[in-house]
Amino acid sequence: MREITYSEALREAIYQSMKSDDKVIMIGEEIGQGYAGVFGVSKGLYDEFGPKRIIDTPIAENTIMGAAIGTSLLGFKPIVEIMFSDFISVCFDGVLNQAAKVRFMTGGQYNLNLVVRLPGGEGSGTGPQHSQSLESLFMTIPGLLIANPSNAYDAKGLLATAIDAGDPVLFFEHKKLYKTKADVPQEPYKIEFGKAKTVREGSDITIVALSYMVSVALAAAAELKDKYGIDAEVIDPRTLVPLDIDKIATSVKKTSRLAVLEETYMRGGIGSEIGSIICQKYMDALDCPINKIASKNVPIPMPPSLCNEVIPDEDRVVQEIRGMF
């Protein structure tokens, strides 16, 4: 085992998939010669695989998505890099009305091995058009899978799974995670979608945390235990679609309390969906109302100091959790 960064883990998953399957290609803006993508994930891939498989494009997200859908229908396995997840709005028709519905509208005659990589989340001053977490927008769309790796190990394994998933995958990568490190095997491996992970055992409350918020939840859990004697269990869903509600429910039955921590907006967020399912099926397990801890319903500010007022941080999580006891 060796320690590598989140971005290196993603690159290794892409490299190993491209080496083993010549149908895997990559499409995006400035991912090839010289630049290797705005976050450097495709570094070295152009030199290894050339312009026919690492395809640089103009700034035209709608065209990129259309090309990816078309090549996937022809049997290729495109990995699309949308430079910032915010810009998926430009190709929303391709995602919502085309990619998500191909299997259904063809009666299963066609399926898409298509991955859309989406760097998102607040990035220390990247502003309202480059800092959004948009996962909750797409949870409502049948036909899409959604992955949210919170660490380098999961990033490699989930991306390898996504490339061969057989349905379009929206692969959300938080910008603050790219330089974080974890132990990652060099050999190829896959992580099954729909299998959440308990990243911290606890007995008093369940915190379901997504993507970068997993690290925030772990820091808050440590403070809650040390200062207030509250023992929090932290669960990382890994994928939102499919969602491992059984793992969450098992934890809630043990702790009798649930908080959902996310960087997406409070209104209509992931916490609303998870909370609704738990209330519908496992209300008797709860000792108090479910707590949604999410970003405030305003555009993400440019100054990092103001971002801290909008996006949940460790202090806010600690205070919210204490209020549940």
* Residue pLDDT tens, the chain, 325 long: 799 999 999 999 999 999 999 999 999 999 987 778 888 899 999 999 999 999 999 999 999 999 999 999 999 999 999 999 999 999 999 999 999 999 999 999 999 999 999 999 997 778 888 889 999 999 999 999 999 999 999 999 999 999 999 999 999 999 999 999 999 999 999 999 999 999 999 999 999 999 999 999 999 999 999 999 999 999 999 999 999 999 999 999 999 999 999 999 999 999 999 999 999 999 999 999 999 999 999 999 988 888 889 999 999 999 999 999 9
What does the pLDDT read at residue 283?
93
Q: Name the residues annotated as catalytic.
A: 61, 130
In the chain, the amino acid numbered 126 is T
What does the pLDDT read at residue 125?
77
Q: What CATH architecture is 2-184?
A: 3-Layer(aba) Sandwich (3.40)
What does the pLDDT read at residue 33?
79
Token pair for residue 35? Answer: 């630049």
Token pair for residue 164? Answer: 């061969």
The CA-CA-CA angle for residues 133, 194, 219, to 5°, reads: 55
Task: Calculate the alpha carbon distances from 256 to 122, 206, 207, 287, 324 in Å.
Answer: 32, 8, 11, 5, 11
Q: From its phi and psi, is residue 118 left (phi > 0), alpha (psi between -120 and 50) or beta? A: beta
State how far the Cα of 99 lies from the Cα of 94, in Å rounded to an integer.
Answer: 6
Question: Residues of CATH 3.40.50.970 domain(s) within the chain?
Answer: 2-184
What does the pLDDT read at residue 126?
82
Q: Which residues pair with 146 in a beta bridge?
A: 170, 241
What does the pLDDT read at residue 88?
94
What does the pLDDT read at residue 81?
96
Question: Residues of CATH 3.40.50.920 domain(s) within the chain?
Answer: 197-322
What does the pLDDT read at residue 37?
80
What does the pLDDT read at residue 307?
87
What does the pLDDT read at residue 214?
98
Q: Please give the model's pTM, rounded to 2 decimal places.
A: 0.95
Class of domain 197-322: alpha beta
Closest listed residue to residue 239, CA positions, set 159, 152, 119: 159
State how far the Cα of 36 lies from the Cα of 23, in Å rounded to an integer.
Answer: 20
Q: Which residues pair with 260 in a beta bridge?
A: 208, 292
What does the pLDDT read at residue 41?
93
